[in-house]
Amino acid sequence: MFAGTDNAYAMAKKYKLKVAWGTDTLFSAANAKLQGANLAKMSRWYTPAEALIMATSTNAKLLGLSGPRNPYPGKLGVVEEGALADLLLVNGDPTTNLDLVADAATNFLVIMKDGRLHKNTTGS
């Protein structure tokens, strides 16, 4: 797969295929810390905005297709009342500079997960 990655993404874009993003590093704490950097590498094939959509709302739609295996009981992939959403406040614009997600410790000012504040360095 590694050797064909450029071709696979080129074909996906050419034929306007929906592509979800994920890694198999979930079960390794050390590798999980690199997920932001791995997402940032997607800018080789996609614009930063396309990669962010792929990793958020497109992934949410994919989870929704899993029916009863979907572990999330609410609406995903949108920011609206009643939806399940993890929210980030980023120091910069990741839709134009995807490298910002590579260094969450520095660039993620606010992190909310499951409606709970996990990080807030804004002073408010």
Mind listing the pLDDT tens digit for each residue in 85-113? Answer: 788 999 999 999 999 999 999 999 999 98
| Cα distances (angstroms) measured from residue 122 to each of 8, 81, 98, 108 | 41, 24, 21, 10
Q: Where are the domains of the chain?
A: 2-120
Which pLDDT does position 110 carry in this prediction?
96
The enclosing H or E element of 117 equals strand 116-120
User: Which residues of the chain fall below pLDDT 50?
Assistant: none
- Six-digit token pair at 119? 């990080």
